[in-house]
Structure 1
Amino acid sequence: MAAAYRVDARRWAGLFDGLMDTIGARFARPEPRRRVRDFVAGLLAPLPVKNCWTIAEHAGDDGPGGMQDLIGRASWDDALVRADVRDFVAQRLGHADGILVVDETGDLKKGVHTVGVQRQYSGTAGKIENCQLAVHLSYASPLGHTLVDVALYLPRSWADDPQRRTEAGVPDSVTFATKPQLARALIDTAVAGGLPCRWVTGDEAYGGDPHLATALRAHQLGYVLAVACTHRVPTGHGVQQSGQIAAALPSTAWQRMSAGDGAKGFRYHDWAFVDLPKAEDQHGGRHWMLIRRNRTTGELAFYRCWSPHPVPLHHLVTVAGRRWSIEESFQATKSGLGLDQHQHRRWKAWHRWTTLVIAAHAFLTAAATLSTSSVTSVPDGLIAITVNELRRLFHALIIEPARPRADAITWSIYRRRHQHAAKTSHYTRQALTEP
């Protein structure tokens, strides 16, 4: 019976080593190769706050300079590292029916100097706040789901301001792009990179953009994209709004189905879909309006759908349900991996921090599949090992035992020396102006 409770710690370590060796090949010198490994290990650690100081202390460095150099000044291409992560995900989680999920998340920030920051609506806060916004691409398959790519949203107030761009190190090639345009670029990159996928899903910000839908049809990617109740579509009775279509449906049009497993049970809703033959274009395929009705409140949600081939209702419902997987990824990366804890104002540093968080999350997701694929690894009375639980186990069993105890004393000395220098500087400066 004890064998059933064993974990795959050695296989997790081998998987981590393989990913870090692949990423490490992007660095010409051994120092950044070691540091990037230590940096990702620090992201996986249960540190109360994650920044270059705490990660350097966790790694046993003699100061934060090396980690700050890795994020801000060292020579490496974060886009190529994300390509490595995408290939890793394709190998470990890839499936012919893979789903690409697009969504943005916001990080609340103070001041006006952090790249991309302005007062704008943040879905994370649910209101207008001073924040950064970034569009993320997630990959979901029957094996798991993880973030794979990202694009920072640069508002016009930044894109059209040469001084702010220069101060934040925004490349000249970066121009203003809407969030759907950023999502399209991320999807184009994933498809060109060979990530196996068949579907795309996203919320109203993406479903309301006709250019994105056209681009997906050109890729022959099916989609289930949320739209507003006022979204207009061509029908046999003329152009109608989504809400009008729903109001005209008979009671027999609705079917009760689950959009997937939830922590508290199956996520049942009432669903209906309407064929839209008038929406056909040069890409062929089938168009639908998918409608979801809350069983308790009767609240409606609407989705524009397309597939190069006919599919049953339950297939569209499944794709719609996978949209929530990216929210789980945001929660896991913010609560456990420090996605929103970066303290970097410049373009390059922001992308590097976020890229390494994505790498850490992809590793955890892939490692979790090693456990769920083993018949004996999930005995009765236990759920499968989650990403959050695997992060705790990996640190306790693999990372922590390798750390010398002297590191704690070394960093205590370093912090106190730094604080002494800062205190002396403050008193010296005060003495110049005070009697």
Structure 2
Amino acid sequence: MNRDWQLDLERWLEPFVSALRHKTRARMCPAYIAGLIGLGDRKSVQPMAARHAGVNYDQLHHFIASGVWDAAPLEKVLLAEADRQVGGNDAWLIVDDTALPKKGRHSVGVAPQYASALGKNANCQTLVSLTLASGEVPVMVGLRLFLPESWTSDPARLDRAGVPEDHRAYRTKPEIALAEIDRARAAGLRFGCVLADAGYG
């Protein structure tokens, strides 16, 4: 990979890396992001680690799989950067669904439900997304997993999947969207209008 490109990426990631507040994670974050957006078709941990000279599989896997992170500091930096780039009275905040088709039933939130990407009901995870956009520049500022009632009504399933206690109550997609809009506004994100399809009322 072109070293100048890597240096530019590391400079751009500096505020996000600082928000991690963890020395090892701060070292792994640029390697992981470079692996996701860099050369190579396979974006799983093993091939990404093999392509990066200073990182091995165990280190990169630990970065992804270990423990619960406090996402709030990263989200704060993301909202500030999004606002700097495209925020203002002429910006739009767009609410939408993102469906991730899945087989099986063990991934958190997977259930037969409407998959917007497929245009039909399918086994998938559904996420409520918020995107700040101005002109032709979109910046994703929020992504929250929707838990269907088949999950929230099954405490044993929630336990097996390790769903945190404060995320176990059933919330509709519009309720998730409103909470995300409130979070964005509280952080000072500037936008003139919210757009959503009819599913959000």
Distance 2:54 2:123 in 1: 34
- Bigger-Rg structure (1/2): 1
Shift of 1:135: 0.6
In the alignment, which residue of structure 1 is the partner of 2:30?
Answer: 37
Question: Of 181, 199, 202, which residue of structure 1 is paired with 2:175?
Answer: 181
Q: Per the alignment, in what secondary structure is the counterpart of residue 128 of structure 1? A: strand
Which structure 2 residues correspond to residues 15-34 of structure 1 after superposition, within 5 A? 16-34=9-27
Q: CA separation of 1:25/1:74 partners in 2, compared to 1, >3 Å: closer, same or farther?
A: farther
Q: Which residue of 2 aligns with 1:203?
A: 197
Contact 1:116/1:132 (8 A) holds in 2: yes
1:147-162 to structure 2, matched below 5 A, reads 147-162=140-155
- Cα deviation 1:19-63 (Å, max 9, x = unaligned): 422111233442211101111111111331322222222323564
Distance 1:10 1:37, change over 3 A: closer
Tell me the equivalent position of 1:138.
131
CA shift for structure 1 position 18: 3.8
Which residue number corresponds to residue 88 of structure 2?
A: 95
Residues of 2 paired with 1:38 and 1:118: CA distance?
33
String of CA shifts for 1:235-290, please: whole Å, max 9, x gaps. Answer: xxxxxxxxxxxxxxxxxxxxxxxxxxxxxxxxxxxxxxxxxxxxxxxxxxxxxxxx
- Contact (CA 8 Å) 1:27, 1:33: kept in 2 or not? yes
Amino acid at match of 2:15: T
Distance change (3 Å), C-alpha of 1:176 and 1:12: same
Q: In structure 1, what residue type is equivalent to 2:46?
A: W
TM-score where L is the length of structure 1? 0.43
Q: Which one of the candidate residues 157, 170, 174 is aligned to 2:163?
A: 170
Instruction: Select 2:47's aligned residue among 46, 49, 54.
Output: 54
Contact 1:86–1:195 (CA under 8 A) maintained in structure 2 = yes
In the TM superposition, 1:4-15 aligns within 5 A as: 14=8
User: What are the within-5 Å matches in structure 2 for residues 410-429 of structure 1?
Assistant: none
Q: CA, structure 1 residues 194+11, in 2 after alignment: closer, same or farther (shift >3 Å)?
A: farther
Secondary structure in 2 matching 1:25: helix
- How many angstroms does 1:10 deviate by? 6.9
Residue in structure 2 matching 1:65, options 55, 58, 62: 58
User: Shift of residue 164 of structure 1?
Assistant: 1.4
CA distance in 1, matches of 2:39, 2:22: 29
**C-alpha contact (below 8 Å) 1:134/1:150 kept by paired residues:** yes
Aligned partners of 1:118, 1:79: CA distance in 2, in Å? 28
TM-score by length of 2: 0.89
Q: Distance in 1 between matches of 2:67 and 2:12?
A: 20
CA 1:79/1:56 → structure 2, altered by over 3 Å: closer, same or farther?
farther
Partner amino acid for 1:198?
Answer: G
Distance 1:12 1:97, change over 3 A: farther
- Identity, in percent, stands at 31
CA distance in 2, matches of 1:53, 1:180: 38
Say how many residue pairs are matched. Answer: 198
- The residue aligned with 2:184 is 190
* Unaligned 5+ runs, structure 1: 1-8, 209-435
Shift of 1:94: 2.0
Q: Which residue is equivalent to 1:220? A: none
CA contact (8 A) 1:100 1:200 kept: yes
**2:109 alignment partner, SS class:** coil
* Closer, same or farther: CA 78–63 of 1 in aligned 2, 3 Å: same
Pair 102,165 (structure 1): closer, same or farther in 2 beyond 3 Å: same
Alpha-carbon deviation of 1:11?
Answer: 9.7
Q: Is the 8 A contact 2:42 2:48 kept in 1?
A: no
Say if 1:27 and 1:75, in contact at 8 Å, map to a contact too. no
The code of the aligned residue for 2:13 comes to M
Deviations 1:316-364 (CA, angstroms, capped at 9, x unpaired):
xxxxxxxxxxxxxxxxxxxxxxxxxxxxxxxxxxxxxxxxxxxxxxxxx
Residue 80 (structure 1) aligned with residue 73 (structure 2): yes
CA contact (8 A) 1:39 1:59 kept: no
